[in-house]
Amino acid sequence: MSQRDEQLKLIDIEIEKHKGDASSLMQVMQYSQDIMGHVPMDVQVRIAEGLGVTLSEVYGVATFYSQFALEPKGKYIIGVCLGTACYVRGSQAILDRICEELNLEPGKTSSDGLFTIEATRCIGACGLAPVITINDDVHGRLTADDVPNILKPYLRG
Amino acid sequence: MITLTIDGTEVTVEKGTTVLEAARKAHIHIPTLCFLKDLNEIGACRICVVDAGARNLQASCVLEAQNGMVVKTNTPKVREARKTILELILSNHDKKCLSCVRSQNCELQKLSLELGIEDGEALGGERTHYDVDESSVSIVRDNNKCILCRRCVAACEKTQACGVIGAVNRGFKTSIESPWVLPINQTACIRCGQCIAACPVGALYTRSEIDRVWDMLADDSLYTVVQTAPAVRAALGEEFGMPMGTNVTGKMAAALRRLSFDRVFDTDFAADLTIMEEAAELVNRIKTGGVLPMITSCSPGWISYCESYYPEFIPNLSSCKSPHEMMGAIVKSYYAEKKNIPVEKIRVVSIMPCTAKKYEAKLPELSASGYPDVDAVLTTRELARMIKTAGIDFARLPDEDFDPALGESTGASVIFGATGGVMEAALRTAYDWITGESLEELDFCEVRGVKNIKEASIKIGDSTINVAVVHGTANAKELLEKIKAGDKDYHFIEVMGCPGGCVTGGGQPIVPAQERIDVDPRVERAKALYGEDAAKPLRKSHENPSIIKLYEEFLEEPNSYKAHHLLHTKYTQKPKYPALEN
């Protein structure tokens, strides 16, 4: 059984637990997001059929909340805070530099599956402005020139 | 009861009434955009805000009237708020009123006039741009005009149980799309057009075939036959300022003749023919232990729904083609032979209350003569447009008759246009056939009206026939689920894809949301049809002399080999999620 088949099996078990319960929609979607890294079309259809909601509803929720991805996200998710405090301290330049170093656009995932860049709203670490997160690591008080050194350890995969 | 004061007038209403509805009782029309009675009451657009004494203005469509409440609907603050809301909506709207099919029947345009919107900076700013989705043969979607009221979404999901469109993304990037932003023809859209009927603006409209029909009419080498569905006559007058429920059968026939159609026939004739075939099929299924309940097949929206969402019921569908397809098949066989007209020179144009019929007419299997049974389908709205283009003074036209013989019909056929009509017509004929007697009391009132699911047990001779009637595919879904669960047992079911039946089909004149607060078009338009039925000398399909002659001269008997070849079809399962198959 392929890894994907195993993931689908787990998702089906999760859907079965919430069968016919439309109010569990986000919970089940989050489960798929957690184990697959995204909520692909065939999974959305399974969720819609299982919970008794329309596919439009599932897709609408998937595109409304940034916590859900339609395509797989990278191994490392780089979040660049564009909240007010970070922005006035130059986070746009940091975002631009990250994009340049990785040759990638915000919201996109690199072809090797290593990085996803996301421009985020305030993450509540204004004291460290400008701040970025790479998965659970926080890097604060940055300048654009710090970017290559920060990325270096992650580039090894 | 609740008593409140609105703009100084005391109003007493039932508990649970909204301030919007209460105000109407005081003859105050609060503007609305996202509001659609019983369907979309979500307070999303905020244009209906009023001052009810709270710190902020409140949306009156979702604000319940309270005892002693004092509401002001026309203060400077309220007017300013409504204007700002409207300006924000307009700033991201393409404002191409000149070429918009909804011009003069657009709720946004009407409000802009009423609230005194001025052209200027407030209407400028950043805009979103979308490709127009012309993938469907029935429905065009232009998000550049969409105001995100979500009325179409509610119609698609709640009354039709399809849900093939919804709001995607968020904030400024929100738009109404199908999942994965696919063209609508890559979804299980049933093309019923209820989204068009719900749209307050020109973001959803019918794929027009007017130009094709003008070309046919201009080509003297062609013999162009037109036919009109029962429901068209109950609503066409509204496009010319006549009151809802006016029957315009005679003027409609006159207008079509003036548009230079070679023959003006009536789909009602084919509705009588449908009853002959369908009643025979039902009697046969009951006698031979065939698949029951048998379900009607006149509504292509319903057929698509069944094929995509409930394929397990395909064996239950009557094999009868829908009436206008039967008419096309008869015109291109019996009539062509009789009048000695080459079939390839005949064009059949159907005037329908329906957008799904545009799709149906293009199905390759519906071409009994080797040519399409029907060549073009125009909605009631498109016909009205052609009459206006031609400068025909519709309201002053004399009443004229349809052409013989395919214009002859009974009262049974005209009620096809209202929910329950096909059932009633079928029962009138089935009764006479099964008992060998002539039914005296013709009105089967249990199957009339707009109740979601209508049921009746009809005693015919020694046996009792259990029937059900549903309209709107969401109601069909509910009924089918009950049958699947074994809760219900019927012999015969009528399903119409649109709520109310064809009188409120997706191709009918659009009734603004404000008007729908006070009148139910399903009821008003049906009255015009039941009135015509009651006034007809013949009210049973099998008594139509032209139908009797058609069988004598050509078809032999109902369900004969020839009738099967010309008048029956078959259905195939379609995917519920076509995008997944790619």
Q: For residue B179, give the chain A residue with the closest CA.
A: A56
pLDDT digits (tens, 9 = 90+) for A62-88: 999 988 989 888 889 999 999 999 999
Judge whether B102 and B197 are in contact, CB under 8 Å: no
Tell whether B576 is covered by a domain.
no
What is the CA B305 to chain-centroid distance, rounded?
Answer: 15
Q: Closest Cα of chain B to A145: distance in Å?
A: 33
Domain ends where: B71, B91, B111?
B91
Handedness of CA B489, B490, B491, B497 (dihedral sign): negative
| Co-location of B492 and B359 in the same domain | yes
- CA–CA dist B360, B364 (Å, integer): 9
Cβ separation B580–A57 shorter than 8 A? no
**CB pairs below 8 Å between A and B: how many?**
43
- The interface pTM score, or ipTM, of the predicted complex is 0.92
Using 70 as the pLDDT threshold, list the residues of chain B that sit under it: 582
Determine the pLDDT at residue B461.
87
Determine the pLDDT at residue B581.
80
| Co-location of B365 and B454 in the same domain | yes
Decide if B188 touches A, using CB distance below 8 A: no
| Co-location of B228 and B182 in the same domain | no
Report chain A residues whose CB lies below 8 A from the CB of B182.
none
Decide if B474 touches A, using CB distance below 8 A: no
| Co-location of A37 and A105 in the same domain | no
| Co-location of A83 and A131 in the same domain | yes
Give residue for tokens 């013709």.
B442
Cβ separation A60–B157 shorter than 8 A? no
| Co-location of B229 and B248 in the same domain | yes
Domain extent, residue B488, equals: 210-567
Closest CA to B276 of B288, B265, B284: B284
Residue B502: active-site member: yes
pLDDT digits (tens, 9 = 90+) for B66-91: 999 999 999 999 999 999 999 999 99
| Co-location of B74 and B109 in the same domain | no
Tell whether B477 is covered by a domain.
yes
Question: For the domain that residue B153 is a member of, what is the CATH number?
Answer: 3.30.70.20
| Co-location of B187 and B324 in the same domain | no
Residue B524: active-site member: no
User: Per the residue annotation, which of B454, B502, B541, B543 is the catalytic one?
Assistant: B502
Judge whether B377 and B350 are in contact, CB under 8 Å: yes
Tell whether B309 is covered by a domain.
yes
Give residue for tokens 């003859």.
B27
Tell whether B573 is covered by a domain.
no
| Co-location of B226 and B327 in the same domain | yes
Decide if A54 touches B, using CB distance below 8 A: yes
Domain extent, residue A7, equals: 3-64
- CA–CA dist B364, B367 (Å, integer): 6
| pLDDT for residue A157 is more than 80 | no
pLDDT digits (tens, 9 = 90+) for A95-111: 999 999 999 999 888 98
Q: How many CB atoms lie within 10 A of CB B81?
A: 18
How deeply is B183 buried, as exposed, middle or buried, from its count of CB atoms within 10 A (0-12, 13-18, 19+)? middle
Determine the pLDDT at residue B582.
67
Cβ separation B577–A63 shorter than 8 A? no
- CA–CA dist B305, B416 (Å, integer): 20
User: Per the residue annotation, which of B45, B61, B162, B298 is the catalytic one?
Assistant: B298
Decide if B580 touches A, using CB distance below 8 A: yes
| Co-location of B401 and B492 in the same domain | yes
Tell whether B313 is covered by a domain.
yes
Determine the pLDDT at residue B499.
97
Pick the more confident residue, A1 or B180: B180
Report chain A residues whose CB lies below 8 A from the CB of B308.
none
| Co-location of B225 and B189 in the same domain | no
Number of domains in chain A: 2
| Co-location of A80 and A109 in the same domain | yes
Determine the pLDDT at residue B501.
98
Which are the contacts of B234, defined by CB distance < 8 A and separation ≥ 6?
Answer: B245, B247, B417, B503, B525, B526, B528, B529
Question: For the domain that residue B42 is a member of, what is the CATH number?
Answer: 3.10.20.740
Residue B357: active-site member: yes
Judge whether B275 and B300 are in contact, CB under 8 Å: no
Decide if A145 touches B, using CB distance below 8 A: no
- CA–CA dist B96, B203 (Å, integer): 11
Give residue for tokens 């029935």.
B138
Which are the contacts of B340, defined by CB distance < 8 A and separation ≥ 6?
Answer: none
Question: For the domain that residue A109 is a member of, what is the CATH number?
Answer: 3.40.30.10
| Co-location of B403 and B517 in the same domain | yes
